[in-house]
Amino acid sequence: MFSDTHKPQQAWKAQNYPVPAPSRRGLRFKASALRRLHRWHGTSVSGHPATVMVPALYNMMPAENVALGWLNEVDSLVPIRQHMASASKIIGWDVFTFHTMHNADHYFDTAIVAMRDTWVKEGTLSPKSILEAKRRFGKAYSYHNIQARLVENLVFQSSLMDWIGHHASDVPLRFHVIGTALLPALVSARSITFEAAVQSAMKFGTRWNETVRKSCAGRGEAQARQRAASSTDDEIGWNAFHQVRRLVEGRGLLSMGVSRGDLPTTDAPARPFWYSPTASDEPTLITTAQEATNALQTVNLSSWFNAPGKTSPNADEPIRGWLVSPLHPMARLCRWSVSNYLLATPDSVNLFLDNIAPLGRQPMVAPSSRPTSKPLAAVQNEGHRSLIS
């Protein structure tokens, strides 16, 4: 909650979004260091597939996916646009407009306008859905609307997981998803449809959002009585914004579960993956429809809590790639680390798949160069005479 001296408009002050540019040489150096480190400890990375960690949220700030180039990569743009169009038909508002409306890095304003205008002219983006998104989420504090952020991340995370799975067909790789990232993981694994995931996210996201707003309503009304010029609804909105922001930055806790009536019907995932309710929980392997259903029942808003120091270590995950933006708190794990890698851009993912993920391949057993000896033939003693007379 902001104080009297903190203006709400300052929540989204202009800033430059960092766009990492890893080099092939740098990743090869880290791969060599990783091998030396494991030899020093008497362990090996071979035989342990590289793990792509998928936290509950991918990005922290609006329009980061534009800045990071995912909408310039053709193979990722196609599923993103398809999912945006499908979501818009269900929810009535445009996900791209929600994602970019409060962009804080104005260097990308021109690209955002060009993308939107192109899609409108092509007929793949409805002007009506754009206006509806602006009407619902026009206030800056609306970017932390829980329901909308669930749908936004469902669109992007499911698309990026599909993209990574397609590009990693020849390297050992596994996914480990956390909390609400379970929905996009099930979509990517063909366990549930994208449409069913959107409807489910809308149901429990609406409940979570209303609960947060109700918890802030008392404080908002008290502040409105103290300030004649204040709007009660805006006070509640900003209180809710800061409460959610503290959660995703790892400075506050919120715990809200789901009800069974909000959950979709599942099939067995086509590609098994690992799941943890929160970053500090031990992962479980999801291989069957029942395991997917059981996992959905553990989804909680508390999974949005990001604390790099509280992640659960796992000996089966010696190499982790984090599918998050550079401004995400979990990105700090990738600084000065040879075991954790930031997968924020298409180029960084490709370099990871080419130089780091292959380290997890099973070692080839070399055939022995020593010739094999043949068994001696049996010697018959027929006709043998004793030498002692």
Position 102 scores a pLDDT of 95
Q: What digits encode the pLDDT tens for the residues 331-346? A: 999 888 888 999 999 9
CB-based contact 351:24 (threshold 8 Å)? yes
Nearest to 359 by CA among 43, 27, 46, 37: 46
Under 8 Å between Cβ of 355 and 374: no
- Domain segments of the chain as ranges: 27-64+143-360
**Better-scored residue on pLDDT, 55 or 368:** 55
| Percent of the residues in the chain that have a pLDDT greater than 90, as a whole number | 67
Q: Which residue has the tokens 């120091």?
A: 309
Instruction: Check pLDDT > 60 for residue 381.
Output: no
Q: What is the mean pLDDT of residues 296-314?
A: 84
Higher-pLDDT residue of 169, 38: 169
- Range name among 18-27, 198-207, 304-313, 375-384 with the lowest pLDDT average: 375-384
In degrees and rounded to multiples of 5, residue 235 shows phi and psi of -60, -45
With tokens 């398809």, the residue in question is: 82
Question: Mean pLDDT throughout 54-80?
Answer: 95
Each residue of 175-204: b (16+ CB within 10 Å) or e? bbbbbbbbbbbbbbbebbebebbbebbbbb
Structure confidence by residue, pLDDT tens digits, 143-159: 999 999 999 999 999 99
pLDDT at residue number 217 = 78
Q: Which CATH class is domain 27-64+143-360?
A: alpha beta
- Per residue in 74-116, pLDDT tens? 999 999 999 999 999 999 999 999 999 999 999 999 999 999 9
Confidence at residue 314, expressed as pLDDT on a 0 to 100 scale: 67
2 pLDDT higher than 50: no
For the beta carbon of residue 316, count every other beta carbon within 10 angstroms. 12
The model's pTM is 0.85
Tell me what the pLDDT averaged over the chain comes to.
85
